[in-house]
Amino acid sequence: MKEKKELKIICFHCGATNRVQEKDLAPGKKILCGRCHNALPEPGSVLVLSPKRIYNLIKNGSIPILIQFYSDNCPHCLRMKPIFERLAKRRAGEIMAIMVNVDHYPELAAGFGINSVPTFIIVKQGTEIDRLSGALDEMDFSLWVASRA
């Protein structure tokens, strides 16, 4: 029998890292942050957040954060979206996945020095670890993330 694991979920309201047992998760069940008591994101979900909340996660997060900068008009971005979402589900509780639309948040994209899309950035404890621009197949993308996050 497969052993259930402990997941780490960062609260995007206060930045606290919450440890949740996988067995305690149920569809539709809300898990609350132990510090601020706001609802936590579902593990494995791809988050779309305001710049303020993204910076809060980067500053306070204790697990790697994978950010995809994209545009709705970019065919490579559209090709990477389901790959990104599947990776987020597989790595639930190990990384947080965030998508940033550069057309909606150009200042945020400029702050990260984004020159092309899709661009992926991995951040650990407030520090950029690596970045990748362009599309990859699912296996190569998963290997890139695994070797850095």
Residue 1 lies in a domain: no
Q: Which pLDDT score, from 0 to 100, does residue 22 have? A: 80
Asked if 33 is an active-site residue, the reply is: no
Domain hosting residue 123, numbered range: 42-146
Q: What is the pLDDT of residues 9-46, one digit of tens each?
A: 888 888 888 998 887 777 678 889 999 999 998 888 99
The verdict on whether 36 is a catalytic residue reads: no
**67-106 b/e (C-beta count within 10 Å ≥ 16 → b):** bbbbbeebebbeebbebbbebbeebbbbbbbbbbbbeebe
Mean pLDDT, the chain, integer = 91
Summarize pLDDT for 56-69 with one digit per residue, the tens: 888 888 899 999 99
Q: Which entry of 11, 33, 36, 77 is annotated as an active-site residue?
A: 77
pLDDT band at residue 2 under the 50/70/90 scheme = low
CATH number of the domain bearing residue 49: 3.40.30.10
In a domain, residue 4? The reply is no
Q: How many domains does the chain have?
A: 1
Q: Span 71-98, mean pLDDT?
A: 96
Q: Give the Cα separation of 135 and 87 in Å (integer).
A: 14
User: Is 76 inside a domain boundary?
Assistant: yes
Q: Considering the domain boundaries, does residue 8 fall inside one?
A: no
Model confidence pLDDT, tens digit, residues 87-115? 999 999 899 999 999 999 999 999 999 99
Q: Decide if 24 is inside a domain.
A: no
37 assigned to some structural domain = no
